[in-house]
A and B are shown apart, each in its own frame.
Chain A
Amino acid sequence: MRDSLPMKNTSATPLGAGAKRSTSSGGLQAWLPRLVLAPSVAISLFFVYGFMLWTFVLSLTSSRMLPSYDFVGFGQYARLMANERWWVASTNLMIFGVLFVVVCLVIGSLLAILLDQKIRQEGALRTIYLYPMALSFIVTGVVWKWLLNPQLGIQAMVQSWGFESFRFDWIVDPDMAIYTLVIAAVWQASGFVMALFLAGLRGIDDSIIKAAQLDGASLPRIYWRVVMPCLRPVVFSAVMILAHIAIKSFDLVVALTGGGPGYATDLPATFMYAHAFTRAQIGLGSASAMLMLGGVLAILIPYLYSELRSRKHG
């Protein structure tokens, strides 16, 4: 089958092909793509946008255990703003999001640059760094939960080597626990960022670098002033992908800390789940979900805008 297609194409003259398309199957050819796409469009309209709208409607009601349509205006949003746990969750998202994105970018780009030095066994090394991405956040969370447990993991190991005063108990310290999420998430995602950067680096024309070398620029200077500016689109996509991973983070928190100690590592996603599903406060949960959607849009819209604009220029 695969062989016959190109043969057909080569045998038919361009003129003949064009005539065939316009006469026999004009209507169908124009409608077929729309027909094929229609179910998936309808499904996503209903299940994604329809449910978004429903969530918004629910956020304006006093819904408790099951949805009700007793409208209370923006009362649930006011309650949310007065809720201390919501602020803990939002602050945590800021800390986690910013650190996760920045650290991943730094580590990922450094790894990519080092791997790009035409070293031996590059393929094997690349695979090693990329593998954490193949794990789900649940697995990462459980593994790091054990590693960070003061009585089982790193602290216990170093102490058993004789460093009795060594302490690494962030996971049980409410002030530090949020950083354990950063550690686990960075471990998982920085290999992926490295792959993105590596692909970007390979796309850079060698002659630019050679020209810079001829001009006597040092290697760090070449990377900083010549290579990195060429990688701006890569940085941009990496930030977008990492930012939405950060906002959606739920499984990692559930597996690693369970939102604890107390609710010190709560994120908006876990807050929303707890209130909508286990505490019979669907109204409040929906309000928090709408604010999360707002957060996602705040990142997505500038991204789409710049994407569309650059395509027009291109």
Chain B
Amino acid sequence: MSTFKKTTLALALAGATLATTAQANEVEVLHWWTSGGEARAANVLKELMEAEGYGWQDFAVAGGGGETAMTVLKSRAMSGNPPSAAQIKGPEIQEWGELGLLGDLNGVAEVEGWDELLPEVVADIMRHDGQYVAVPVNVHRVNWLWANPEVLEAAGVEMPTSLDELFEAGEAIREAGFVPLAHGGQAWQDATVFESVVLGGQGSEFYQQALVELDPEALGGEQMVAALEDFKRMRELMDEGMSGRDWNVATAMVIEGVAGFQLMGDWAKGEFTAAGLTAGEDYLCAAAPGTEDAFTFNIDSLAMFRVTDDEEREAQEALARLVLEPTFQEAFNLAKGSIPARPDLDMSEFDSCAQQSLADFQRTAEEGGLVPSMAHGMAVRADVQGAIFDVVTNYFNDADMPAEEAAERMVSAAEAASF
């Protein structure tokens, strides 16, 4: 136990030391864009800030899902020294807003016309109590299926468009001597696959009811049982060594032609790009099987903490403005694999996957099917999300647990997590 005390203390002390070195016209940005493609993407923003004469103090905290970064952020906030901007997203923006720690960006938002610029669903997430407190950086689509065309050819299969087709294709790929589905056995990756299976097998309306609104009837119902059974079958497509593997290592398996498919959000594209591959030729992308008419979004955003110093505030507003400017939106999203948060950009520079992603984003926003990603903290609060993760990952790894029991646990997880 004393180890944790020491760690927390060390973090708090480290935070205090860092904060004193921050200068007035500088922004300190806490983020977790640390893997190859992501780090290059973050660097674009740094260069833009420096070109305008502002300082950029990078506060990158490694760890894929940002868990470590959030821990650091909390200790910084508790010690009264939050950074000027931090990568916070989804319902968490509201939680920080409720604590009264976020500063408002209404000034920039009005000048730049964010209300017209941003799609309503995106703007809603960025506002707390009607005030803009965060700026969207990009829109990720989570329900993607990535594939290595050489592996598919060797196995004689096409890109699957339904879960049944995926299982058939998987069998053929296994027989051809490849791993059908690259996966890493970490709770959030299990949940990523799970939500795509729910969406693919049961549709976006059910997804909305069960995983966003947490309707107990949907969570414990027959459709959930069916989805859980499909989810368990995905295990047959994975390899034994997946335990604890990081997502980018799993992506590398597809890049190297060891595995055929991967179900992962479009940040995986950053890895394909970093390996020098071209979309549509060297690797394929398609909506996760059965989810062509749905779009699970994961929007990265930078929330701004309240600052008192005028110069620091000016730097903060410049950061917010630059983030939404076409130069950065294009450069960042090209490097990271996501699509711009503003839909009015020229997409000709983007690859076929991103173009399809943007088209689907606009289509699902109008027709329905645009849903927040549960696995990536866009749908429910962190405690409920954690409780659902526990059920999903436990069920997935326990060969003996029947789907009915997992569905029941899902209901109690959604209830028990709230206090």
Seen from chain A, the residues whose Cβ lies within 8 Å of a Cβ on chain B are 47-48, 51, 62, 64-67, 72, 75-76, 79, 82-85, 145, 149-152, 169, 171-172, 174, 248, 250-251, 257-258, 260-264, 269, 272-275, 277-281, 283, 289, 292-293, 296
Contacts and interface: CB of A to CB of B under 8 A. Distances in A.
A258 B244 CA distance: 6
A277 B8 CA distance: 10
Nearest to A285: B4
Contacts of B395: 262
Given A67-B78, A84-B390, A289-B4, 4 more contacts: A82-B416, A150-B241, A269-B3, A275-B386
Interface in B391-416: 393-399, 409, 416
B16 interface: no
A280 B416 contact: no
Given A66-B78, A85-B390, A289 B241 contact: no
B243 interface: yes
B383 A279 contact: yes
22 contacts: A65-B95, A65-B96, A66-B74, A66-B99, A149-B241, A151-B239, A151-B241, A169-B240, A172-B243, A174-B397, A174-B398, A260-B187, A261-B397, A263-B187, A269-B1, A272-B4, A273-B4, A275-B386, A277-B67, A279-B383, A280-B95, A281-B386
A223 to B, nearest CB: 37
Given A65-B95, A66-B77, A269-B1, A279 B386 contact: yes
Contacts of A82: 416
B239 A280 contact: no
Contacts of B386: 274-275, 278-279, 281
Given A82-B416, A258-B244, A261-B243, A51 B5 contact: yes
Nearest to B387: A279
A260 B240 contact: no
B381 A280 contact: yes
B331 interface: no
Interface in B1-60: 1-5, 9
B9 A47 contact: yes
Contacts of B382: 65, 278-280
- Which residue among A72, A260, A289 has the maximum number of chain B CB atoms within 10 Å of its CB? A260
B74 A277 contact: yes
B186 interface: yes
A180 B2 CA distance: 25
Given A264-B397, A269-B1, A278 B241 contact: no
A248 B96 CA distance: 32
A71 to B, nearest CB: 13
Nearest to A152: B241
A-B pairs with the 5 shortest C-beta distances?
A151-B241, A262-B397, A279-B386, A261-B397, A262-B394
